[in-house]
Copies of this chain bind each other. A is one copy, B any other.
Amino acid sequence: MTFMEKLSAAWKTNNSLVCVGLDPDRKKLPAGVLSLPHPIFAFNKAIIDATHQDVCCYKPQAAYYAGQGADDELLMTMEYLRSSYPEIPVILDAKRADIGNTTKMYAMEAFDRYGADAVTVNPYMGMDALKPFLDYAEKGVVVLCRTSNAGAKEIQELKLEDGSFLYQRVAQLISGPWNYNHNTMLVAGATFPQELGEIRRIVGSTPLLVPGIGAQGGDLEGVLKHGLTADGTGLVINSSRGIIYASSGDDFAEKAGMACRALKEAINAHR
């Protein structure tokens, strides 16, 4: 199954648009987990076991593993997901891009080393810098378009000579010429639901990865109003801190499961 097929199936089977972001910070892990031999993996495993029936996707954030020297625990997490819940697609959030030869190495990192179903990438260098990712037709390539951070507008809302914004041009490219293998998605932050609606108009039914719900203060109702496709899907709504740190005690997994179900239901109430 391709990434897109897996995603469509998971949307339906779990009746959920929720993606859980696996961004484990050692400083925030419960004491009971920190004493285990692979605390980051143990934390992820417990979160995954508690949420897998209510998600359409998982999204490990590469920076947390790279910054903490925990590449092995990312690998363990990816292997656990693949063996225990092969029906749930996994997006490695890495935001990579480089010249062709080098991007091939990043594609190997995401798809061969870690076995991700999809990866996030950065559009600034143009399509040839992303081609080694895009050429994996069965994998998903999630390209930054309008990100959820406040400073995103500094570049992404620069006005072009035809009066459009840069992020709109980028949306056209991602869903048009860059989508030659029908495997692209776009990142559109929940903190800017109007812009997310603009993107939806441009890209048709191309799926959107939506960060910014929860700790970042995104507007869930606005996201659904502007972002859902006609069949009530088309969105992968990520929550990281709001779910994985729902409790800082030893009941963290149970509370994460509850927070994930609550988000799924809050979303489904508007579908």
Q: Are A124 and B126 in contact (CB under 8 A)?
A: no
Tell me, in angstroms, the Cα distance from A107 to B68 when the chains sit together. Answer: 11
**Which of A43-51, A95-103, A202-210 is the contact stretch?**
A95-103
Q: Are B102 and A61 in contact (CB under 8 A)?
A: yes
Q: Shortest distance in angstroms between A225's beta carbon and chain B's nearest beta carbon?
A: 24
A265 at the interface (CB under 8 A from B): no
**Which of A2-10, A33-41, A146-154, A256-264 is the contact stretch?**
A146-154
Tell me, in angstroms, the Cα distance from A150 to B23 when the chains sit together. Answer: 35
**Which of A80-88, A155-163, A193-201, A247-255 is the contact stretch?**
A155-163
Within 8 A of B (CB), among A95-151: 95-100, 102-109, 112-113, 122-129, 144, 147-151
**A166 CB contacts on chain B under 8 angstroms:** 158, 166
Q: Shortest distance in angstroms between A30's beta carbon and chain B's nearest beta carbon?
A: 19
| A residues apposed to B, CB below 8 Å | 23, 25, 61, 63-64, 66-69, 71, 95-100, 102-109, 112-113, 122-129, 144, 147-156, 158-161, 163, 166, 169-170, 173, 211, 216
Q: Are B160 and A159 in contact (CB under 8 A)?
A: yes
Q: Shortest distance in angstroms between A244's beta carbon and chain B's nearest beta carbon?
A: 13
Q: Are B95 and A96 in contact (CB under 8 A)?
A: yes
Q: Are A147 and B125 in contact (CB under 8 A)?
A: yes
A selection of 27 A-B contacts at a CB cut-off of 8 Å is: A61-B98, A67-B104, A67-B105, A67-B107, A67-B108, A67-B109, A67-B112, A69-B113, A95-B98, A99-B211, A99-B216, A122-B125, A123-B124, A124-B144, A124-B156, A125-B144, A125-B152, A125-B156, A126-B154, A127-B154, A128-B150, A128-B151, A129-B151, A129-B152, A160-B160, A160-B161, A161-B161
Q: Are A66 and B149 in contact (CB under 8 A)?
A: no
**A126 CB contacts on chain B under 8 angstroms:** 149, 151-156
Tell me, in angstroms, the Cα distance from A23 to B99 when the chains sit together. Answer: 12
**A107 CB contacts on chain B under 8 angstroms:** 67
**A169 CB contacts on chain B under 8 angstroms:** 158
Other A-B pairs beyond A124-B144, A128-B149, 20, CB < 8 Å: A61-B98, A63-B96, A63-B102, A63-B105, A64-B102, A66-B105, A67-B104, A67-B106, A67-B109, A100-B149, A122-B124, A123-B155, A125-B149, A125-B151, A129-B151, A129-B152, A154-B173, A158-B166, A159-B160, A161-B161
Q: Are B99 and A97 in contact (CB under 8 A)?
A: no
**Residue of chain B at shortest CB distance from A167:** B124
